[in-house]
């Protein structure tokens, strides 16, 4: 059996256990997706299939909900998920330069993860720290009044931790 088939079977079995906690009512979809996102860090395709079968919902509807809410993701995130706020206050104070620098340093784009699985980049609309603009977060730790220099320093620390 291929590695992918083994992983799909593992997810399938774990999903059957997870779904037992919920009635087969489609109103449970977001709660189920939240739990799957917490467990795996993203929503694997195999889990979508299991949810579709369990709730008797088309895959397209599940996909629509996943892609509508920014909290959900279809791709695994890196060990260090870096989010740059592009809300108005942050954008006006230069957050686009932070995002551009991250892409340049990590050689990936928004929504992508480095090949080694260590870093991923997201752009977000607001983290609620407008007084600290511009802001970026790494795994929910907020770095405010950020500059490209500060971003580089913080990124260097995380890279050093991994070496």
CA distances from 81 to 41, 50, 60, 103, 106 (A): 10, 27, 27, 13, 12
DSSP code of residue 113? B
- Model pTM greater than 0.85? no
pLDDT category at 41 given cuts 50, 70, 90 is confident
Write down the CATH number for the domain with range 3-68: 1.10.10
Is the model more confident about 76 or about 33?
Answer: 33
Whether 3-68 and 80-162 share one fold: the answer is no
Residue ranges covered by each domain of the chain: 3-68, 80-162
Question: CATH homologous superfamily for 80-162?
Answer: Glutaredoxin (3.40.30.10)
Q: Which pLDDT score is estimated for 146?
A: 97
- CB 55, CB 29: distance < 8 Å: yes
């Amino acid at each position: 059996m291929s590695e992918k088939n083994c992983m799909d079977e593992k997810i399938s079995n774990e999903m059957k256990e997870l779904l037992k906690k919920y009635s087969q009512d489609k109103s449970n979809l977001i709660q189920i997706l939240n739990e799957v996102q917490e467990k795996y860090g993203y929503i694997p395709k195999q889990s979508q299939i299991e949810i579709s079968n369990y709730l008797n919902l088309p895959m397209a509807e599940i996909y629509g909900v996943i892609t509508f809410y920014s909290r959900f993701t279809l791709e695994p995130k890196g060990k260090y998920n870096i989010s740059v706020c592009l809300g108005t206050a942050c954008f006006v104070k230069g957050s686009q330069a932070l995002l551009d620098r991250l892409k340049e340093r990590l050689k990936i784009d928004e929504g992508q993860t480095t090949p080694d699985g260590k870093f991923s980049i997201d752009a977000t609309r607001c983290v609620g720290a407008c007084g600290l603009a511009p802001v970026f977060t790494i795994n929910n730790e907020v770095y405010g009044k950020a500059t490209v220099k500060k971003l580089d320093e913080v990124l260097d620390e995380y890279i050093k931790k991994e070496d």
